[in-house]
Each structure stands twice: as C-alpha cells, then as structure tokens.
Amino acid sequence: MSVGERLDDEDTVVMSLKLYNTLKKKREEFVPLEEGKVGIYVCGITAYDVCHIGHARSAVVFDVIYRYLKYKGYDVTYIKNFTDVDDKIIGKAIAEGTDIATISERYIKEHNEDMDRLGVARPTVTPRATENIKGMIRLIDTLMERGLAYVVNGDVYYSVEKFAGYGKLSGRGLDDMMAGARIDIDEKKKNPYDFVLWKASKEGEPWWSSPWGNGRPGWHIECSVMSQRFLGDTFDIHGGGEDLIFPHHENEIAQSEGATGKPFANYWMHNGFIKIDSEKMSKSLGNTLTIKQTLVAYHPEVVRFFILQRHYKSYIDFSDAAMAEARMGMERVYAALKGIKDARGEEADLSDLSEKDLDKEDEIVFEKVRTLPDRFTEAMDDDFNTPMALGYIFDIVRVINSYLPAKESPFTRGMLFTLSEARERIREAGKVLGLFLEDPDDYFAKDQEREVRKAGLDEEEIERLITERRQARDAKDWGRADEIRDLLVGKGIILKDTPTATTWKIG
C-alpha cells in the first residue's frame, strides 16, 4: 500500500485526498511532486502586534491540514514565516525608541505562546525575513536581469505587465482592475499595480546594502525567497488567509515564476475569515479580539472546536452565543469520554483484553466504533471536511451513550474492550483535530474554574451551600433544600444531583 491510499477489507478502494485549489478554482485530487512527501508553505504573521482570533483560525486550519497529511503517512515539511521587518514594525520601534528586533522578538514570543496554548504544532521551520535578505537581493537581481523589474531612485519595482500570468490566482486581469481602480496613482510606477521589491531606506530606518543602494525588502519578496529556500522552486501547497490572494499571493507567483520560469506552488489553499457578531473584524471597527482574550473566556479546545465545526473556506461568525454552543458540543464528547473512563476504573489492568471477550451485543457496538477511522478519513480526504469528521465522532458518542448507561457495574471484559476501542478511535481522530486530548476530569475541572472566574463567583461559598443543601435533603427538609437550589440557580449555577453526590456547573 503506497502512501495516500488505503485498502479496504474487500475490494481495493483508492481513497485519495481532494482539495480545493484556489489557482484552478476547483476541487482537485492531491498529487504531491514527490511520492510520499509534501512541502507546504503558509504565510505567517507580521510581528508588530499580538495575534487575534483570525490568526488563530488560520493557524488551527493549517495545523489540522499539517497533522492530517502526517496522519496519512506523508513526510511533511511545513514552513511558516515570520515577517520581522516591515513598515508597521519600524513604526512601532520608532514610537518606542527601540529597534525592530526588539519589537518583532516580543511579538514572535507572544505568538508562540498563543500557538502553544491553542495546541498548534510548531511548523518544521519558521524562517524570518531578516535572516533571508541576501536571498531576496539575489531574487530581485534575477528579476532585474530578466527585465521584470526596474529601478526608480533606489526603489525597485516589479513590472506586472511583463509577467504574462499576472492575475491568474486572483482571477482578475490587469484591464479589469484598471477599470475600477481605487488605487492612488504613483508617478514613480509604470503601472499602478507594480509593487515594490526593494525600498530605499529613509532616515532612521533599518537598512541593508544592495546593488540599488541601502534599503530594505518590499512586502512580498520574502515569501518567494523563503519558500524556495526550504521547499524548492516548485512545491506542493501554499496556504494563507483568503485576503492574501490579492495582491500578496499573486505577487509571490509573479516574483517566483518570473525568476525561475517554473511553476511556483501547485495547490493554493485559503482559509475564510472570522467575523465578530456578524461584522468584519478590523482594527478600525475596534472589534478585534485577541487570542489571549479569547482564551481567558474559553478552553483552547473549545476555540479549536468552534473553528473546525465549519469548513475552512467559509467565513465564520464569532459570538458569545456561538462559543457557548461550541462549549456545549465539547461537553457532550467529554461527558462520553468520562463515562468510558469511569467505567474502566483507575486501577484495572486491561492490557490483555481482546476481541475474544466480545459478546454479541458488544460486537454490534464494537463494529460501529471501528468504522470511525475510515469515516474520519473519508471526511478529511474530502477537502478537509472537519464538520463532517466531527459529525462522525458525535455518531460514535451517541452509540456509546446508548450502550453505556444500559449496563450495570461491574463491566464485562467485552464491554471494557469495546469502550477502550471507542476511546482510542476518538482519540486517534482527536489527535489530528487537536481535540478531546485532555483527561475528561481535567477538562471539566478547568472548564468549571474558568466559568467561575468569568461569573465572578466564590467557589467555596458554592460548595458550602451545596453541602448545606445536601444535609437538608438528607433530613428531607425539601423547603430549605429547594431554597438553596433556587439561590444557586439564580447565580447561573446548575446542580447535578446523583444518588451519591451533588456536583455543579455553570450553564
């Protein structure tokens, strides 16, 4: 069996990965350049500010793509850059009276913290623009030699009219764009859409020496250089937010293909945006939400779940209500995982369980559970359909929930084996999605702690009241017990009475 294929039990079924290629505007079968290997480049952040949930979406989406490609058995090289020289970084450095390295270092560190908390795996390499200036100068030089770039007063511009394929990614021709141009006419440029490759430095700005004088790179050249450096002239997948399609990715193609004469990336993938309360998130609207703010209010897996419940290409609408729903959904899965955990008990050694332990009823459940990996793969092979993959996980959750409470402790070996299988299969899919990876008790403990903090409640006071209610109930003093219950409900606390204890949660 070769990589990228799975063989079914009976007949040979080639399950190939299909993905939507922005370049072709259609879904295509994914065929890597080199069998068994994938090179993927995703545009990273400009390190001038803390990351917002839009960054989180892009990071989580491509994290899942990266993990899934590895799950399929590919040897994946995943490159995500940091832009650490740029107008905004320079502006901030000047404002703070420091240098750009201090600024970019600070926000790269913040970014990495955010990613770690979101459970986003580190890419294979995270190159920085300033480490690749020489490569940029070489690439610009090649573009000059090929007649695709020109110099004006120490600035170097790319001449878009000289590149025949300009507009092929964004699907717009230069003529179309000129018709409704909303851009400023810059006298220095031959065409308004020409973009800067190298900028002559102004007083007080960082600079590197170049054949065109002291300056710094333009906004687009770094990605052409870093992708080529780590993945070669042509590579498999290039990703980023949909806003980058034009001009950034269009310009990358012009730079790279203009210089090498070879195709740049074979597949282009773009994630959709996050809106907040149905509005576009932007600094001008003042409705940006940072990852750190989001994680104060929600468990990182709830954030991931929220993102993965929608297909990566469509926009998603962030709101407290939507996040509350995501939290409820996560709770459902974790509740099932807790049921499995509790059934198994802490101590028991279950390593010698096998299919031989299954009775007829166990077998029916076991067979359903065992279909999860194939169904998960089917969904993910279909342009990374994470909503469908999650739907399949919920199907298994329902199967287990129906099976579990019907049983009385002690559990038979066959039941324990079936439950173990369910847990493992959910965990296997969860590892790709970055979900359901916590111990259920830890998950609920953290969730409760977070909710208590958000509601500004006093946990000890709640516990004291619950104990008092417990005592009242034991004494069959229903009046007092209900009085306390009403008090707690008034604070948003939901009591969970079981025969042996009362626990609680915030609803």
Question: Pick from 383, 421, 447, 451: which binds RNA (CB under 7 A)?
Answer: 383
Q: How far is the CB of 88 from RNA (least distance, A)?
A: 6
Question: Pick from 73, 119, 207, 315: which binds RNA (CB under 7 A)?
Answer: 315
Q: How far is the CB of 36 from RNA (least distance, A)?
A: 26
Q: Specify the residue, 491 or 505, whose C-beta has the smaller distance to RNA.
A: 505
Question: Pick from 36, 165, 171, 492: which binds RNA (CB under 7 A)?
Answer: 171
Q: What are phi and psi of 301, to 5 degrees?
A: -70, -25
Q: Specify the residue, 37 or 470, whose C-beta has the smaller distance to RNA.
A: 470
Within residues 238-257, the interface with RNA by CB under 7 A covers: 240-248
Q: Specify the residue, 150 or 193, whose C-beta has the smaller distance to RNA.
A: 193
Q: Which residues contact 118 (CB under 8 A, 6 or more apart)?
A: 56, 59, 60, 291, 295, 300, 303, 304, 434
Letters for 4-43 (x = contact with RNA by CB under 7 A, - = none) are ----------------x----x-x---------------x
Q: Which residues contact 394 (CB under 8 A, 6 or more apart)?
A: 329, 332, 333
Q: How far is the CB of 366 from RNA (least distance, A)?
A: 17
Question: Pick from 113, 482, 491, 506: which binds RNA (CB under 7 A)?
Answer: 482
132-163 burial, b if ≥16 CB within 10 A, otherwise e? bbebbbebbbebbeeebbbbbeebbbbbbebb
Cα–Cα distance for residue pair 370/345, rounded to 1 Å: 22
Within residues 112-141, the interface with RNA by CB under 7 A covers: none
Candidate segments 197-205, 293-301, 329-337, 452-460, binder of RNA by CB under 7 A: 329-337
Letters for 281-310 (x = contact with RNA by CB under 7 A, - = none) are xx--------------------------xx
**With binding defined as CB under 7 A, does residue 374 bind RNA?**
no
**With binding defined as CB under 7 A, does residue 507 bind RNA?**
yes
Helix residue ranges, H only, 180-220? none
Q: Specify the residue, 111 or 413, whose C-beta has the smaller distance to RNA.
A: 111
Cα–Cα distance for residue pair 64/316, rounded to 1 Å: 17
Residue 186 falls in which region: left (phi positive, over 0), alpha (psi -120 to 50) or beta: beta
Q: How many residues bind RNA (CB under 7 A)?
A: 82
Angle between helices 386-403 and 413-433 (to 10 degrees): 160
Within residues 411-450, the interface with RNA by CB under 7 A covers: none
Candidate segments 110-118, 429-437, 452-460, 488-496, binder of RNA by CB under 7 A: 488-496
Question: Pick from 45, 79, 148, 340: which binds RNA (CB under 7 A)?
Answer: 45
Cα–Cα distance for residue pair 386/311, rounded to 1 Å: 6
Contact in structure between 159 and 129 (CB atoms under 8 Å): no
Question: Pick from 58, 81, 130, 227: which binds RNA (CB under 7 A)?
Answer: 58
**With binding defined as CB under 7 A, does residue 360 bind RNA?**
no
Residues present in the chain in total: 507
Residue in 254, 257, 22 with CA at minimum distance from that of residue 161: 254
Within residues 195-214, the interface with RNA by CB under 7 A covers: none
Residue in 116, 104, 129, 101 with CA at minimum distance from that of residue 63: 116
Q: Specify the residue, 16 or 282, whose C-beta has the smaller distance to RNA.
A: 282
Question: Pick from 164, 181, 455, 475: which binds RNA (CB under 7 A)?
Answer: 181
Tokens encoding 116: 């770690």
Cα–Cα distance for residue pair 76/58, rounded to 1 Å: 18
**With binding defined as CB under 7 A, does residue 228 bind RNA?**
no
Q: Which residues pair with 80 in a beta bridge?
A: 42
Q: Specify the residue, 6 or 368, whose C-beta has the smaller distance to RNA.
A: 368
Within residues 257-286, the interface with RNA by CB under 7 A covers: 271-274, 280-282
Q: How far is the CB of 354 from RNA (least distance, A)?
A: 27
**With binding defined as CB under 7 A, does residue 182 bind RNA?**
yes
Contact in structure between 306 and 276 (CB atoms under 8 Å): no
Burial class of residue 435 (count of CB atoms within 10 Å of its CB; 0-12, 13-18, 19+):
buried
